[in-house]
Amino acid sequence: MWLQREIVLEPRRRGFHLVTDEVRGALPELAGVEVGLCHLFIRHTSASLTLNENASPDVRRDFGAWFDRAVPEDFAWTHTLEGPDDMPAHIKASLLGPALSLPVSDGRLALGTWQGVYLCEHRDHGGPRSLLATLWGE
Amino acid sequence: MWLQREIVLEPRRRGFHLVTDEVRGALPELAGVEVGLCHLFIRHTSASLTLNENASPDVRRDFGAWFDRAVPEDFAWTHTLEGPDDMPAHIKASLLGPALSLPVSDGRLALGTWQGVYLCEHRDHGGPRSLLATLWGE
Amino acid sequence: MWLQREIVLEPRRRGFHLVTDEVRGALPELAGVEVGLCHLFIRHTSASLTLNENASPDVRRDFGAWFDRAVPEDFAWTHTLEGPDDMPAHIKASLLGPALSLPVSDGRLALGTWQGVYLCEHRDHGGPRSLLATLWGE
């Protein structure tokens, strides 16, 4: 079976946000897949997706602090037309990547106990973010 | 349907290069896929693939500047046999990753408006680069 | 065909470890796939998978040195409950990513000559690591 569906995530402030339940809730067809894959793809170049610790808000805050330090606004950027948060957002987006491929087993995302899906919003005012989810398997 | 094809990208200088049209042109069979995935895989360890802003050459130049600063040639590398650009190239390749999985919808790559495929060439003289493209869907 | 199987990797010390043969050995069914994909997924948030140079141990040592410098234990982390190596491990895990999608051709992983699968162990005492391998194709 193949399924493809857009999932629109509401605007969020700059930072790292847990969206596992939102993604799962938008894909009730997961229940019908015994073995397969779920591909989540963000259609933007200044936000990204990653998988990380799903329990402690501290972890997500520390992600923000480290990425802001590693890819600072204060750098010799030449592409500055869209604001100081724009070019760092592009770099961060590629470091973390635009897609996640998640295995599906027995009707569920086969994540580890501590794994959750993060929306990584790298802009100050990024607006709503569009994910394209593709689910296939048997 | 399944299709697998090698795409050879001509040698490019160190930096970030937009290759979306080249990849699309090499895969006319995309037109026959209603829903599916296109997997692009680079068979090298000192070049990589990413998705980012497809309009401004400034952005690609800034990618080069940031990555050269973050992973400098001047570091306590032990693996120096293949030249000062080699070890940084390996690290950059893993930070950005060797593969892209792109959703296919209605006969096209379902990229966002601003998303383009970058060949990330991390060596000074990397030579031609071999991609293995795999396309499957229905 | 679809196959899904857990592969348990034995505990390894912090660092980068070549596990290509171990992964291949656990998936003899690769031989029956003419064209397809093999998805490797690590079910942890403080270890990751990447693809890089499969010959020189120097390269893997240099990976360790660079990542320890780029994501240091000595940083203004707020999530410190699980030890000084924990929060850097989470960041490194997301920089490198939890999954690899590898093309399969003529019954083999279609890796480049120099590409090998690295288990990236970011904790001092990470314990055994569980991979979920999913193989599909025709």
Quick check: pTM over 0.95?
yes
Check residue B134 and give its pLDDT.
98
What pLDDT score was predicted for residue C34? 98
Q: Quick check: B49 contacting A, CB < 8 Å?
A: no
User: A101 and C97: CB-CB below 8 Å?
Assistant: no
Average pLDDT over residues A106-118: 98
Is residue B99 within 8 angstroms of chain A, CB to CB? Answer: no
pLDDT at site A92: 98
Q: What is the percent of chain B where pLDDT is above 90?
A: 100
Residue of chain B whose alpha carbon sits nearest to that of C101: B99
The reported pLDDT for the residue numbered A86 is 98
Confidence of residue B115 (pLDDT cuts 50, 70, 90): very high
ipTM of this predicted complex?
0.98
Q: Answer for the pair A129, A73: CB distance below 8 angstroms, yes or no.
A: no
- Could you give the CA distance from residue A54 to residue A60 in angstroms, rounded to a whole number? 9
pLDDT at A83: 96
Quick one: how far is CA B104 from the chain centroid? 18
Considering CB atoms only, which of B2, B44, B134 is closest to C112? Answer: B44
pLDDT at A125: 97
For range A2-19, the mean pLDDT:
98
Q: Which two tokens stand for residue B37?
A: 């995935």
Please list the alpha-helical segments (H only) found in B29-113. Answer: 57-70, 86-96
Question: Which residues in B lie closer than 8 A to residue A93 (C-beta atoms)?
Answer: 52
Residue C53 pLDDT: 97
* pLDDT digits 0-9 by tens, C8-62: 999 999 999 999 999 999 999 999 999 999 999 999 999 999 999 999 999 999 9
Could you report the per-residue pLDDT of B41-78, keeping only the tens digit for each? Answer: 999 999 999 999 999 999 999 999 999 999 999 999 99
Angle, helix A86-96 to helix C86-96, in steps of 10 degrees: 90
Interface test with C, best of B38, B41, B49, B102 (most C CBs within 10 A): B41
**Contact at CB, A79 and B101, closer than 8 angstroms:** no
Nearest by Cα to C40 from C125, C110, C130: C130
pLDDT of residue C103: 98
Backbone angles phi, psi at B102, to 5 degrees: -115, 130
pLDDT cut 70: percent of chain B above it? 100
The predicted-structure confidence for A70-99, as pLDDT tens digits, reads as follows: 999 999 999 999 999 999 999 999 999 999
Calculate how close chain C gets to B79, using CA atoms only, in Å: 5
pLDDT category at C98 given cuts 50, 70, 90 is very high
* Sheet arrangement for strand A108-109: A2-9, A129-137, A35-42, A99-105, A108-109
Position C128 scores a pLDDT of: 98
What share of chain A has pLDDT > 90, as a percent? 100
For residue range A30-65, list pLDDT tens digits in order: 999 999 999 999 999 999 999 999 999 999 999 999
B134 reaches C (C-beta below 8 A): yes
Q: Which of B91, B99, B136 sits opposite C66 (nearest CB)?
A: B91
Q: Mean pLDDT across the stretch A101-110?
A: 98
pLDDT band of C67, cuts 50, 70, 90? very high
Spell out which residues of chain A touch residue C41, defining contact as CB-CB under 8 Å: 101-103, 110
